Structure 1
Amino acid sequence: MQKFKLFILVLATFFFSHLCGAKTLDQTAEQYVKLVLALGEHDSGYVDAYYGPDEWAEEARAKKMPIDLIISEAEVLRSELPKMTPDTELMQRLREYYLDQQLVALVAHAKNLSGVEKLDFDAQSRDLYDTEAPHHKLSDFDPLIAELDKMLPGEGSMESRIEAFKKQFEIPKNKLNAVFDRAIEECRNRTKAHIPLLDNENFTLEYVTDKPWSGYNWYKGNAFSLIQVNTEFPIDISRAVDLGCHEGYPGHHTYNALLEDNLVKKRGWVEFSVYPLFSPQSLIAEGSANYGIELAFPGNDKAEFEKNVLFPIAGIDPALAESFEHLGELTSKLSYASNEIARKYINGDIDKTEAVRLLQKYSFSNKDKATQRVRFFDTYGAYVINYNWGKDMIKAYVEQADDQDERWARFTKVLSSPRLPSSLDW
């Protein structure tokens, strides 16, 4: 009887929408936001940010729309989107395409969440993030592991030598504030030289524990963010700039503030007042945040800044900087190994114990850190591709220009327009 009532309600929604004529894009955008909020009632981690009308969020909480109805209404809404033509103004085409692909992801996540259609790793990548990350064999990374083995001093297992080596670069807890404050200041100054930041932009920095991630930006609207850094495990010195750029400048905080100002406030596009985490927007968000580190600190700038500024603040010997930089280069080259481990784990090809073991080998992690990473896989699934594959996609787009100022201009265009992975080059 419940399914029959749901079927009648969906039919009524479909016929009513057609009798009333085609929706405007603004009406479609409003319904999209309400469906995202409705799905957020079934998944507390789905709505990453929302700063639209309070009554829409209250309505979602009160209605508790069933997932089946959310799926049906989203499919109808997508079918009613106007068809694009080559003559349509670019920003309008980007907007229409954004809504289309975000609705595809909404339906996919809702089906996966409800158990209607369980998605494997690559299906999650395609349906949620509008792309598919490249495949590798774990054995492809063995030469890098051998190189690491040669560079590590001391005797004993590789795990114990890595642990001892990395311990030299941990930021003492009583120096965390000073190191992060200086790193974020530098990230902001370098970003501000190329991107006009809003006069009222600001953030609060908090230190937290017991999270599956190392850092997080909670965007609150009106150019304000809450940035959290997970101190459950020791933080090495390179993470200060990485997190300062990724979570702040020119990363998530900058991205969200620009979208709000350019698209919500200036154009009235309400769909950008909500950010559904499991969507193509996340690849742009995470990819630009990771590439932003490299853009803000090109060449050897990051290594030099860490050696000359952050090492002394943290009380770390600058003479160790060169070997630390080499470790960072190897770690970066191994990032795709983590994707392969996540793919095997999510697809059921390996269990948690094996995933932890492989992460210890291929990501230079101790057992606790590797276990935390598997918690990330459990929570976020194929989201891992957004960091490395997303970075490479943004990098390929931005670095079509050779001039550094033009690269910043292309990067800013990504941050302030409704581009998705498959519309980057529009």
Structure 2
Amino acid sequence: MRRLMWFLAIVWAGFAVVPASARGSGAAIDAIAKDYVALSLAASERDPGYVDAYFGPPTLAAAAKLDQRTPSELSADAARLHTRLAAIGPKTLSPIERKRRAALLLQLTAAQTRMAMVVGQKLSFDQESKALFGVTFAAPTLASFDPVLAELDRLVPAGPGTLADRMKRLSDRVIVPPEKAETVVKAAIAECRRRTLDHIAMPPGEAITLEMVRDKPWAGYNYFQGHAHSLIQVNLDVPLTMDMVIKLGCHEAYPGHHVLYSLYERNLAERRRWIEYTVFPLFAPMALIAEGSADYGPDLAFPGDERIAFERDTLSPLAGLDPADVALFEKVRAVQAKLAPASAVIARDYIDGRIDRARAVALKEQYFLVTPQEAQRSIRFVDTYRSYVLNYFLGRAMVAKTIAAVGTNPAARWAAFERLIGGPTTPDDLVAP
């Protein structure tokens, strides 16, 4: 531990030893960025969970615990930092510094907004998603998803009961037994890692730790620890269907959150010494980049039929499942994925007060063919994270279109993906869906 603290002291001392005269406007941004990190850490003391990960100077984390600023004061201070940063003209900066400035402006807007929300400011779903995540979406009607339900009705094996009943019988056949879940997930993560490392050079010594947990509002979560290490938790209360195994492996680990955080740490925090990339606020535009790229991860790592083949030949035997059921379920899930935007439609109507909680739960059951318990869990997520749900399907769609723009060559697609998650990247850098 003493060696680790000594190493951190040497690394972070570097922020203070570069002469300001040699850095011009970059030094001014450094000062604003440090204040932003301090503000973000103080905000997390007032809004638990606001900071998703932090691996910067320990002195700032300690100071945040003593910071007495209220959420209103933090919101006002974020606005003042935004004004200071906006006053630095882009023409005085290099192209990469201009990208840094643009990203930090968006982060400051998000911080100002989130702290205002903490003290009771009411925003519509669209206002909130724009201020926090830098995006809005053109919401379709729920009725526009009815043809997808009809397609699923034709694909899911016939039997008694509703389509949801039939869907549950099929999904029950591909649920990984809890006692085998850790083994199966570890095998999936190992394959996701192997495929990712074929294309992306990770920092030396990078690693993850896997834990199986319960009583959480999510299926999986990555707690980045710094030094290219992540703690990944998988919630056993959520039925772990075979398709979720690959999704969790790619989303939380490789080439998803673990890789993005590790590259931000290496490329931006360490090499460029941009201190703002040592803190990851949950309610900020970088969440759209993180969730969108992580949700796109399985498509990149397992193109075409490779995902079904790996589940059939490797994961199914480990889980003791029938490979034929797994293959059919993947086809069903591919169709069901078309329903993803409906989650934001329901969340928006719920947050904006057009429907109550009971109606939101009922609509989740209807359009996502889930049990009442699963629907309740889904709305619990909305209660906790609100417009954050937009980052998954919309972020994924934007990342997918951005990668598709480079063509079909696998190496080119991986290279484009690495540039995207290596930062600095904002929602404005992505192709709109």
Match of 1:271 in 2: 276
1:404 aligns with 2:410: yes
1:202 aligns with 2:220: no
1:417 aligns with 2:412: no
Aligned pair partner of 2:148 in 144, 149, 156: 144
Matches within 5 A, 1:342-421: 342-402=347-407, 403-421=409-427
Aligned pair partner of 1:288 in 293, 314, 317: 293
The whole-number CA distance in structure 2 between the counterparts of 1:89 and 1:395 is 28
Moved more, 69-78 or 21-30: 21-30
Match of 2:250 in 1: 245
Q: Residue 210 of structure 1: CA displacement?
A: 0.8
1:333 aligns with 2:354: no
Please state whether the residue corresponding to 1:49 is helix, strand or coil: strand
Aligned pair partner of 2:113 in 90, 98, 108: 108
The whole-number CA distance in structure 2 between the counterparts of 1:54 and 1:211 is 28
Q: Residue 178 of structure 1: CA displacement?
A: 1.9
Q: Residue 320 of structure 1: CA displacement?
A: 2.1
The whole-number CA distance in structure 2 between the counterparts of 1:100 and 1:270 is 14
The whole-number CA distance in structure 2 between the counterparts of 1:396 and 1:158 is 32
Match of 1:218 in 2: 223
Q: Residue 66 of structure 1: CA displacement?
A: 1.1
Q: Residue 84 of structure 1: CA displacement?
A: 4.0
Deviations 1:303-359 (A, max 9, x none): 111111111111111122332122111221111111111111111111111111110
Deviations 1:363-397 (A, max 9, x none): 12111011000000000001011111001111111
Q: Residue 86 of structure 1: CA displacement?
A: 5.3
Aligned pair partner of 1:319 in 315, 324, 338: 324
What letter corresponds to residue 138 of structure 1 in structure 2? L
Q: Extract structure 1 runs of 4+ deviating beyond 4 A.
A: none
Q: Residue 157 of structure 1: CA displacement?
A: 2.3
Q: Residue 149 of structure 1: CA displacement?
A: 2.3
Match of 1:254 in 2: 259
1:50 aligns with 2:68: no
Match of 1:6 in 2: none
- Tell whether the 8 Å contact from 1:84 to 1:96 is kept in structure 2 after alignment: no
> Could you tell me the TM-score, scaled by structure 2's length?
0.91
What letter corresponds to residue 423 of structure 2 in structure 1? S
Aligned pair partner of 2:35 in 31, 37, 46: 31
Matches within 5 A, 1:79-98: 79-81=83-85, 82-85=87-90, 88-98=93-103
The whole-number CA distance in structure 2 between the counterparts of 1:424 and 1:165 is 37
Q: Residue 145 of structure 1: CA displacement?
A: 1.1
Match of 2:16 in 1: none
- Tell whether the 8 Å contact from 1:179 to 1:240 is kept in structure 2 after alignment: yes
Q: Residue 398 of structure 1: CA displacement?
A: 1.3
Deviations 1:75-124 (A, max 9, x none): 11111114343573221111111111100011111111111x21111111
1:156 aligns with 2:153: no
- Tell whether the 8 Å contact from 2:174 to 2:326 is kept in structure 1 after alignment: no
The whole-number CA distance in structure 2 between the counterparts of 1:36 and 1:26 is 15
- Tell whether the 8 Å contact from 1:251 to 1:288 is kept in structure 2 after alignment: yes
Deviations 1:18-48 (A, max 9, x none): xxx9871111110000111111111101000
The whole-number CA distance in structure 1 between the counterparts of 2:238 and 2:424 is 36
The whole-number CA distance in structure 2 between the counterparts of 1:319 and 1:103 is 50
What letter corresponds to residue 73 of structure 1 in structure 2? D
The whole-number CA distance in structure 2 between the counterparts of 1:268 and 1:87 is 19
Moved more, 128-137 or 156-165: 156-165
Deviations 1:128-171 (A, max 9, x none): 00011231100001111122223332111223222211100000
- Tell whether the 8 Å contact from 1:335 to 1:388 is kept in structure 2 after alignment: yes
Deviations 1:273-312 (A, max 9, x none): 0000000000000001011111111111111111111111
Match of 1:308 in 2: 313
Moved more, 43-52 or 320-329: 320-329
Please state whether the residue corresponding to 1:395 is helix, strand or coil: helix
Q: Which runs of 5+ in 1 are unaligned?
A: 1-20
- Tell whether the 8 Å contact from 1:125 to 1:133 is kept in structure 2 after alignment: no
CA RMSD of aligned residues (A): 1.5
The whole-number CA distance in structure 2 between the counterparts of 1:56 and 1:325 is 46
The whole-number CA distance in structure 1 between the counterparts of 2:135 and 2:213 is 32
The whole-number CA distance in structure 1 between the counterparts of 2:170 and 2:405 is 38
Please state whether the residue corresponding to 1:219 is helix, strand or coil: strand
> Could you tell me the TM-score, scaled by structure 1's length?
0.92
1:193 aligns with 2:184: no
The whole-number CA distance in structure 1 between the counterparts of 2:154 and 2:30 is 60
The whole-number CA distance in structure 2 between the counterparts of 1:37 and 1:157 is 49
The whole-number CA distance in structure 2 between the counterparts of 1:199 and 1:294 is 26
- Tell whether the 8 Å contact from 1:136 to 1:340 is kept in structure 2 after alignment: yes
Q: Which runs of 5+ in 2 are unaligned?
A: 1-23
The whole-number CA distance in structure 2 between the counterparts of 1:135 and 1:303 is 32
What letter corresponds to residue 148 of structure 1 in structure 2? L
The whole-number CA distance in structure 2 between the counterparts of 1:83 and 1:67 is 26
What letter corresponds to residue 325 of structure 2 in structure 1? L
